Copies of this chain bind each other. A is one copy, B any other.
């Protein structure tokens, strides 16, 4: 890869998820996301619909930003796309995404051709981690591991300022690290994956199981007795309202997450672990017991150089990181 000057003014970032598409423009040198838009993905309407929607959103964002800031379309360098994987980055192909129902889908080139702009493709969780590294919590670090606690647990590894992809673009699946060898069955086929204990649905499920077993909690009132309506957000809400049971659930979450984070620290010895996702709104109710659990578990020499922090770009890390990938692949630096 050659290092050359990044001579254009803007990069488009696209964060494609199973639920929403988020699009925005980043100044080449970094800064605020401009022309930020989000729309539902509606994957059920077909791949062509999704690609068309992405392209329309990109055109609208570009038009808005150029209108407000001046300049022409020539000032836009290209488009970085983050998508659920597994992917083949070399060909820009989505190999298989259950959430979107795609198989061997040439997403990058379809978007690039439709927009007449160069494009890059990387994994959504990688992009989220890279976004936090470029302009978020990880600014100035050389290495970090990003974890996004959502429907699943996404992971992104940044080493020496680059996304670590592994030998078949499959690295970083930290949510599918086994923390209980004979534990809960995971959708991925494995048993006892971290995701089964600390993702949003897993937190909700553990909360419900305890209440069904007799625990008294404000959670029951918050969902008017409909336990199936309990989500990780409800648990967070009850925790900050002082509910002891919800706090216990949050502490258990921190313990499971702490086992996973400690393993990551023992294996990768990163400078930072950045945690994103709705449940981080619980703040120190989550981070204090999480850090305590990591202290209990990880090697001193590894944990002492690792900060465990909340993400700073909620909602835009994926867009920022996708743009950073484009910049890195096009100019050889970020």
Task: Identify the A interface with B (CB < 8 A).
Answer: 86, 95, 142-143, 155, 157, 159, 164-174, 176-181, 188-192, 197, 255-256, 259-260, 262-264, 266-271, 296-299, 301-302, 304-306
- Copies of this chain present in the complex amount to 2
Which 4 pairs between the two chains have the least Cβ-Cβ distance?
Answer: A166-B269, A171-B269, A170-B302, A173-B266
The answer to whether A305 and B177 have CB atoms under 8 Å apart is: no
The answer to whether A266 and B177 have CB atoms under 8 Å apart is: yes
Tell me the smallest distance from the CB of A56 to a CB of chain B, in Å. Answer: 31
The answer to whether A190 and B301 have CB atoms under 8 Å apart is: no
Tell me the smallest distance from the CB of A84 to a CB of chain B, in Å. Answer: 13
Q: Which chain B residue shows the least CB distance to A95?
A: B301
Partner of A170, one of B168, B181, B301: B301
Tell me the smallest distance from the CB of A198 to a CB of chain B, in Å. Answer: 11
Query: 4 extra interchain contacts, Cβ-Cβ under 8 A, other than A178-B262, A179-B180?
Result: A86-B299, A178-B263, A190-B296, A267-B267
Given contacts A173-B267, A176-B266, whether A181 and B299 have CB atoms under 8 Å apart is no
**Alpha-carbon separation in the docked complex, A178 to B299 (Å):** 12
Name the B residues within 8 Å of A260 (CB-CB).
Answer: 178
Q: Which of A86, A166, A262, A306 has the most CB of B within 10 A?
A: A166
**Alpha-carbon separation in the docked complex, A39 to B305 (Å):** 36
Name the B residues within 8 Å of A169 (CB-CB).
Answer: 269, 301
**Alpha-carbon separation in the docked complex, A262 to B176 (Å):** 9
Name the B residues within 8 Å of A268 (CB-CB).
Answer: 164, 166, 171, 267
Name the B residues within 8 Å of A259 (CB-CB).
Answer: 178, 181, 191-192
Given contacts A155-B267, A262-B178, whether A188 and B299 have CB atoms under 8 Å apart is yes
Q: List 12 A-B contacts (CB under 8 A).
A: A95-B301, A143-B166, A164-B268, A166-B268, A166-B269, A168-B301, A168-B302, A170-B269, A172-B269, A173-B266, A178-B260, A188-B299
The answer to whether A165 and B269 have CB atoms under 8 Å apart is: yes
**Alpha-carbon separation in the docked complex, A174 to B171 (Å):** 16
Tell me the smallest distance from the CB of A52 to a CB of chain B, in Å. Answer: 28
The answer to whether A168 and B267 have CB atoms under 8 Å apart is: no
**Alpha-carbon separation in the docked complex, A267 to B145 (Å):** 11
**Alpha-carbon separation in the docked complex, A190 to B262 (Å):** 9
Name the B residues within 8 Å of A166 (CB-CB).
Answer: 143, 268-270, 302
The answer to whether A267 and B172 have CB atoms under 8 Å apart is: yes
Tell me the smallest distance from the CB of A166 to a CB of chain B, in Å. Answer: 2
Given contacts A178-B179, A267-B267, whether A170 and B86 have CB atoms under 8 Å apart is no
The answer to whether B142 and A167 have CB atoms under 8 Å apart is: yes
**Alpha-carbon separation in the docked complex, A165 to B159 (Å):** 11
**Alpha-carbon separation in the docked complex, A164 to B267 (Å):** 10
Name the B residues within 8 Å of A181 (CB-CB).
Answer: 179-180, 197, 255-256, 259
Partner of A179, one of B171, B179, B188: B179
Tell me the smallest distance from the CB of A208 to a CB of chain B, in Å. Answer: 20
Name the B residues within 8 Å of A304 (CB-CB).
Answer: 168
Q: Which of A142, A159, A179 has the most CB of B within 10 A?
A: A179
Tell me the smallest distance from the CB of A263 to a CB of chain B, in Å. Answer: 4
The answer to whether A168 and B86 have CB atoms under 8 Å apart is: no
